[in-house]
Amino acid sequence: MSNGQAIRMTESRKAILSVLGRTRAHPTADEVYSMVREDLPKVSLGTVYRNLDLLAKQGLIRTLASAGEQRRYDGMVDDHHHIRCEVCGRMDDIEVGNAELLDELIIDGRGYDVHGYTLCFSGVCREYAGNGKSHEQNGKGQGE
Amino acid sequence: MSNGQAIRMTESRKAILSVLGRTRAHPTADEVYSMVREDLPKVSLGTVYRNLDLLAKQGLIRTLASAGEQRRYDGMVDDHHHIRCEVCGRMDDIEVGNAELLDELIIDGRGYDVHGYTLCFSGVCREYAGNGKSHEQNGKGQGE
DNA sequence: GCACTAATCGGAACCATTCCCAGTTTGTGC
DNA sequence: GCACAAACTGGGAATGGTTCCGATTAGTGC
Ligand SMILES: [Mn+2]
Ligand SMILES: [Mn+2]
Ligand SMILES: [Zn+2]
Ligand SMILES: [Zn+2]
């Protein structure tokens, strides 16, 4: 998905890549911001947003934008899927067995030129299990 | 997915249901707002939002909240899937062949109590086909 | 009609993200 | 190293979808 020509690799971009490279947590922009500031105390939030966008367009990171939630970013660009906790909003990687089945999906695209799809699971993470409240606490449920 | 006890069916709620019942377009909140105002010229946007939420919690409508985009609402509550145009943002229903394959997906939930999943396709609608710009025009690409 | 509650209105507040711009850094050609 | 243009940056204001709040209205049971 690398787009356009290569961009200059500035300090802030290196720092962002490094942050995303060493966490498994799918941080939000402001989490990336505060982590980057440990190394480069003067970066601005705007720069972090701008560069997260750029890096994503280059295909060097991935953007996880789910359902009315704050955007999250992922340093792992290989194809994989995610699950979001409906209670606390955290996102984790998941393993999908039979993943190859997904490519068998044949759709009537209604005249669309179909580019891809998004598959995201939802549930409740271990930490909040047993909290099975029916009323919402945080996330907006299933989104789609 | 009907939640809580039944709500009173006020004029504005009936109007919203009616609007969503007779369109296939998956309108946004402000589109619903202006359509409802053709019948009830005094409804406020806040009321529309509040009631869209309520009706969704009742399971009478569905919320389509995709990737940093404005939320959309769907009067069709039976299970089906969608595709979003990356250029203009419109959303349409799609037919997924082999839909039953989706239930075969076995995942390692990483300790999550898995509730469901979201599957949304992306592409370019007929109206904007041939416009295959590589630079973004509108949507944020794939989201997830 | 009266009391009590739920629903609504209108507008302000919220907040993640984007935009703007003056100043700085970087790359390039000499 | 020097000059110049292009790319990048910080800081702060603007944006816009959504939520929140105080005041008003409509409904319901008596
Ligand atoms: Mn991931
Ligand atoms: Mn639909
Ligand atoms: Zn959780
Ligand atoms: Zn389109």
Ligand nearest to the CA of A26: 1
Residue B126 has pLDDT above 70, yes or no: yes
End-to-end CA distance of chain A: 25
Question: What size, in residues, is chain B?
Answer: 144
Per-residue pLDDT tens digits for A114-129: 988 888 899 999 988 8
What is the A66 CA–ligand 1 centroid distance (Å)? 13
Q: Are B58 and B23 in contact (CB under 8 A)?
A: no
Determine whether the distance from the CB of B46 to the nearest atom of strand C is below 7 Å. yes
Q: Which pair of structure tokens corresponds to residue A125?
A: 């993470």
- Identify any residues that bridge with B3 across adjacent strands, giving them in sequence order: none
Per-residue pLDDT tens digits for B12-54: 999 999 999 999 999 999 999 999 999 999 999 999 999 999 9
Lowest mean pLDDT, pick from B5-9, B49-53, B61-65, B139-143 = B139-143
Using CA coordinates, name the residue in chain A closest to B132. A113
Yes or no, beta carbons of A101 and B101 under 8 Å apart? yes
Based on C-alpha coordinates, what's the Rg of chain A? 17
The pLDDT-based confidence of B117 (bands split at 50, 70, 90) is confident
Question: What domains does chain A contain, in order, with CATH numbers?
Answer: 1-77 (1.10.10.10), 79-144 (3.30.1490.190)
Yes or no, beta carbons of A111 and B97 under 8 Å apart? no
Q: Are strands B72-74 and B81-85 parallel, antiparallel or unpaired?
A: unpaired
Q: Is B123 on the interface with A (CB under 8 A)?
A: yes
